[in-house]
Structure 1
Amino acid sequence: MGRPPCCSENNDLKKGPWTPEEDEVLKGYIQKHGHDSWHALPKRAGLNRCGKSCRLRWINYLNPDIKRGKFSEEEENLIINLHSNLGNK
């Protein structure tokens, strides 16, 4: 029962930390072709990684649209105001 694994156990997929070279391959591929199918992306890009691993790497670390760093004072006040009005919704 349940879902099948995202990657077959027979493949020798690389696990562990990403190398800077892998990061560049992933960034270059997504910037050129986009990311319509995360499942097919590693094979198309020439990466020996799982599609889920590529998706998480892009979303959490490589996406240039992600704002990093501390919240501005305005953002912090907005969060506090919304939390006081809405609670933990």
Structure 2
Amino acid sequence: MGRAPCCEKMGLKKGPWSPEEDNILISYIQNNGHSNWRALPKLAGLLRCGKSCRLRWTNYLRPDIKRGNFTKEEEDTIIKLHENLGNRSVFFLKKKN
């Protein structure tokens, strides 16, 4: 007994997302949340795997994603942290949020 087969074994859609698929995913998550990513595609009516839905939501569709350039304050903070901590500043920023 193991996990269900992944996308390529089940004939699910791969590749770029259409605007219609984006809208389906957004409306489903707004109405029902995203507690189980593996079950979400079937419940939402998408021919995608749960991982694809999770990555699409997390990286592109989430409403709190900031797009565009850094503000002057954000850039100064990054430079200051890098001077003090080196490359470890990335981990500091992740922990802070």
TM exceeding 0.5: yes
What is aligned with 1:81? 80
Q: Which shows bigger deviation, 54-63 or 5-14? A: 5-14
Cα deviation code 1:47-86 (max 9, x no counterpart):
0001000001001110010000000001000000011111
Q: Considering fraction of residues, name the structure with more helix.
A: 2
Normalised TM-score (structure 1):
0.90
Could you tell me the percent identity over the aligned residues?
66
Residue 18, structure 1, aligned to residue 17, structure 2: yes
Normalised TM-score (structure 2):
0.83
The one of the two structures with greater contact order (alpha-carbon pairs below 8 A, sep at least 6) is 1
5+ residue gaps, structure 1, are: none
Q: 1:77 to 1:6 in 2, by over 3 A?
A: farther
Cα deviation code 1:19-67 (max 9, x no counterpart):
1000000000001111001111001100000100000100111001000
5+ residue gaps, structure 2, are: 89-97
CA shift for structure 1 position 7: 1.5
Distance 2:85 2:4 in 1: 38
Q: 1:29 to 1:38 in 2, by over 3 A?
A: same
CA shift for structure 1 position 10: 3.5
**Amino acid corresponding to residue 50 of structure 1 in structure 2:** C
Q: Does the aligned pair in 1 maintain the 2:7–2:48 contact within 8 Å?
A: no
**Amino acid corresponding to residue 15 of structure 2 in structure 1:** G
Q: 1:39 to 1:64 in 2, by over 3 A?
A: same
Distance 1:5 1:57 in 2: 21
The count of corresponding residues between Structure 1 and Structure 2 is 87
CA RMSD in angstroms, aligned pairs only: 1.9
